[in-house]
Amino acid sequence: MVPGYVPFTILLGLEAAAVLVSVLVFARRRRDASDALLLCSRCACLHKRTEALGRAADAIAVGALAFLGALPFVAAGYESGFTFPRAVLAASAVAAVVAVAAEADFLARAAAARLWPRLTWSAEPMRVFGGGARWLGVLFALYLFKPRTAGMAALFGGVGRRLVLDLGAPWIVYAAAAILVIAAIVALLARWLIPFVFLSLPTTLAVRLESPGSSA
């Protein structure tokens, strides 16, 4: 059986790693996405603050989704032992889950940009990875908390039943699902509702500045 502190420690570690990567990726960029938009100084300041909150929600969502992908491999390791090939397989599976979610989000943004070309659809890496993690996490939580189901056993079948037995108290899975839902709500509030409340426009609806070489 997996010790109770192990899943919690892994969740904290993955969340810290995701936040650190988000900070490093943003630090390498010279300007915000809102800098390329036609905004007044007040709205630009507002969007810098709300986007920081949105980026934090993106990073936390990626960390929670990575945790859910890694948890079955952790339980299997405690049951049959940890080996280097299994660790590589676990890392590959976690990366694949996060990448598939990000790819789905990127394709959705590409389709939206095709349908509504006048709107501004961000394709920043953390925005795409965070968006995919948030929406996949919401779908996961909707099924996990759905009434009249057997929770993880219904969602993951035999793997879910094994997880319930190996974890003893599977509250950490529900906590990770709740984190994903909260991250989705925070990102939605930060990028859409708060700008409207303060009489501004979400960055998606703002007008993009024309580059010097573009035609009028």
Sequence-ordered list of residues with C-beta below 8 angstroms from that of 23, at least 6 positions apart, any chain: none
Distance CA(88)–CA(214), nearest Å, equals 47
> What is the per-residue pLDDT for 159?
55
Q: Are 78 and 2 in contact (CB under 8 A)?
A: yes
Give φ, ψ of 208 to 5 degrees: -80, 140
Distance CA(156)–CA(59), nearest Å, equals 25
> What is the per-residue pLDDT for 160?
57
State the first-to-last Cα distance of the chain, in angstroms, to the nearest integer. Answer: 65
DSSP 71: H
> What is the per-residue pLDDT for 215?
41
Which residues are registered as beta bridge partners of 37?
208
pLDDT mean by block of 10 residues, the chain; 216 residues: 81 93 73 55 80 91 92 81 87 93 91 80 82 89 64 54 63 87 92 84 60 42
Sequence-ordered list of residues with C-beta below 8 angstroms from that of 90, at least 6 positions apart, any chain: 70, 73, 74, 77
> What is the per-residue pLDDT for 94?
92
> What is the per-residue pLDDT for 209?
46
- For the chain, give every domain's residue range: 5-197
> What is the per-residue pLDDT for 72?
82
> What is the per-residue pLDDT for 133?
93
Q: What is the DSSP string of 134-161?
A: HHHHHHHHHHHT-TTS-THHHHHTHHHH
> What is the per-residue pLDDT for 73?
85
Q: What is the DSSP string of 193-208?
A: IHHHHTT---TTTSPB
Q: For the chain, what percentages of helix, strand and coil (3-state, to nearest 5) are there?
A: 75, 0, 25
